[in-house]
Amino acid sequence: MAALVALVSAGALLAGGSGGAAVGDADRGQLPRIRGSVGPGFDISVRPREVAPGSYRFVIQDQSTMHNWHIRGNGVDRKTGVAFTGTKRFTLDLTEGRYRIQCDMHPTTMVTRLRVVA
């Protein structure tokens, strides 16, 4: 019995594959991805910039020790650390509305938005 469970588990892992989310990933149990980046210069971004309400897996590439990536709005408040560099991943439930994404060290010049529309 234990061998059968191990084989079924291994098969499920192999069938899941890896790589970025694409259309249809939600059908396979994966959340759609939203990608963000900050640095190394004075750039901050989010892609896509418009999505439908729902749960999303955020993958943030922080490339600078003098910036951070901070999303706020509709009860959401998540960020990377200013001194942090690397990749952060987190899941957020987004409701209809606008979300502000900014660098907290440069909030008037490094800003973008994410729109959630039904």
Measure CA 83 to chain center: 19
Residue 14 lies in a domain: no
Please report whether residue 111 resides in a domain.
yes
CATH number at residue 39: 2.60.40.420
Tokens representing residue 53 in the block: 């309400």
Residue 9: is its pLDDT beyond 70?
no
Pairwise CA distance, residues 6 & 97, whole Å: 44
Question: What pLDDT is stored for residue 27 in this prediction?
Answer: 52
Asked if residue 1 belongs to a domain, the reply is: no
Residue 11 lies in a domain: no
Q: Kindly state whether residue 2 falls inside one of the protein's structural domains.
A: no
Domain extent, residue 56, equals 25-116
pLDDT of residue 39: 97
The pTM score is 0.75
24-70 per-position pLDDT tens digit? 444 557 999 999 999 999 999 999 999 999 999 999 999 999 999 99
Query: What is the domain count for the chain?
Result: 1
More confident residue, 17 or 89: 89
Judge if the upstream peptide bond of residue 32 is cis by omega within 30 degrees of 0: no
